[in-house]
């Protein structure tokens, strides 16, 4: 399947392969052989549990891995990841341009760059500059541009990191507005980090949809959406389009609509399909998905079997139906199911 995945990827395509601690070293060797060591992007570490993880004699394991490779790394443009919910909450102010936060214009640094130390006139005419050990974030020309664009905030304070022209603590502090979204309203993004934080349990998502825990250890959709954002999110997609390429994550792109196709060779309960549908609803895109699952039987006495699901594929199909209903995606064309029949 990995060999086929590489064939399906375009030159700037990415593939993510989830694995636990027992087999990650073997998988890395296999991926190096198929994709080439030079196309290794990173090894993501997922903090998957707060309850101590898998019990062991010496160290409890509470993490898993996801290996990321490119088909041709040299053709992959800059990648982006979404801000965390905690980071988004910091943008607690709003004006006509949208949500923003105020960032201190003076910051602690060991640099001695004189271009970032200069006098600024405050609303009452007082002149201020950074105190020793601090510098302004911008050189004067860039500050003047920010001031002209209404991105500078002056506030009175008794604890300013600035001093006046006489060397005394200033009565003003200066802040720069940092907006959550760009001009189109798209959320800000960051360079992805290799350590991925804890997300809500995927088991709870199954229970919410079916009223019972029908599948063991499904991946949380928020975890999968982190990788979707990196590979086929708006900012990453736009970055690829600026480089005259289409985005990819074992996905193939429709060149006319730029709607990505997300392919999961090990679909299980179809958490990836769930993640794609939820992501589409959030940002208005029309990504599609292909889920591949062998006709693996559910255990005879399992809850899934008692609920009428003879195979894991049956459970996955029903999950997609329920997600479509839950998200009220009336304009969705639904999905097709293809079955490979054995020749006789």
Q: pLDDT at residue 198 above 70?
A: no
Q: Is the pTM of this model over 0.75?
A: no
Return the domain boundaries, the chain: 2-85+186-326, 92-179
| More confidently predicted of 198 and 65 | 65
pLDDT for the residue numbered 251: 37
Can you tell me whether residue 106 is helix, strand or coil?
strand
Q: What is the pLDDT of residues 46-56, one digit of tens each?
A: 987 755 556 67
Q: Answer yes or no: CATH 3.40.50.150 is held by domain 2-85+186-326.
A: yes
Q: What is the pLDDT of residues 178-196, one digit of tens each?
A: 988 654 445 556 778 888 8
pLDDT at residue 250 in the model: 38
For 161, which DSSP code?
Answer: S
**Helices within the chain (DSSP H only):** 2-8, 24-35, 85-89, 140-148, 202-210, 221-232, 234-242, 271-283, 303-306, 312-326
pLDDT digits (tens, 9 = 90+) for 111-131: 878 899 999 999 999 999 999
What local confidence, expressed as pLDDT, does residue 232 receive? 80
Q: How far apart are CA 55 and CA 141, in angstroms?
A: 58
Mean pLDDT of 61-78: 91
For residue 136, what are the β-bridge partners? 106
Query: What is the H or E stretch that residue 17 is in?
Result: strand 14-19
Q: Are 213 and 206 in contact (CB under 8 A)?
A: yes
Burial label, 316 (beta-carbon count in 10 A; 0-12, 13-18, 19+): buried
Gap between the Cα atoms of 289 and 267, Å rounded: 11
> How would residue 229 be classed by pLDDT, with cut points 50, 70 and 90?
confident
- Position 88 scores a pLDDT of 79
- 265-307 pLDDT, tens per residue? 999 999 999 999 998 888 778 889 999 999 899 999 999 999 9
């Amino acid at each position: 399947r990995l060999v086929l995945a590489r064939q399906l990827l375009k030159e700037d395509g990415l593939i993510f392969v989830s694995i636990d601690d027992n087999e990650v070293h073997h998988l890395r060797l296999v991926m190096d052989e198929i994709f080439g060591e030079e196309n290794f992007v990173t090894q993501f570490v997922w903090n998957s549990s707060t309850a101590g993880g898998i019990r062991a004699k010496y160290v409890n394991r509470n993490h898993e891995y996801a290996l990321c490779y490119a088909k041709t790394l040299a053709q992959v443009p800059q990648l982006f990841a979404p801000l965390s919910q905690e980071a988004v909450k910091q943008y607690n102010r709003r004006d006509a341009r949208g949500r923003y936060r105020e960032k201190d214009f003076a910051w602690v640094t060991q640099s001695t760059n004189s271009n970032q130390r200069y006098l600024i006139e405050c609303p009452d005419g007082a002149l201020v500059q950074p105190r020793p050990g601090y510098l302004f974030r911008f050189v004067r020309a860039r500050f003047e541009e920010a001031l002209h664009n209404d991105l500078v905030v002056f506030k009175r304070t008794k604890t300013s990191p600035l001093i006046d022209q006489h060397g005394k603590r200033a009565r003003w502090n200066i802040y720069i507005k940092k907006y959550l979204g760009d001009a189109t309203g798209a959320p800000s993004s960051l360079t992805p980090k290799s350590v991925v934080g804890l997300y809500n349990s995927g088991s709870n998502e199954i229970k919410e949809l079916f009223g019972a825990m029908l599948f063991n250890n499904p991946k949380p959709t928020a975890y999968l959406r982190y990788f979707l954002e990196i590979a086929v999110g708006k900012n990453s997609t736009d970055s690829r389009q600026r480089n005259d390429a289409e985005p990819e994550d074992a996905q193939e792109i429709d060149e006319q609509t730029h709607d990505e196709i997300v392919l999961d060779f090990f679909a299980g309960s179809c958490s990836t399909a769930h993640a794609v549908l939820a992501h589409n609803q959030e940002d208005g895109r029309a990504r599609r998905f292909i889920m591949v699952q062998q006709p693996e039987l559910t255990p005879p006495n399992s809850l899934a079997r008692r609920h009428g699901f003879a195979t894991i594929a049956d459970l996955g199909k029903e999950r997609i139906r329920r997600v479509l209903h839950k998200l009220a995606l009336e304009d969705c064309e639904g999905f097709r199911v293809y079955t490979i029949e054995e020749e006789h």
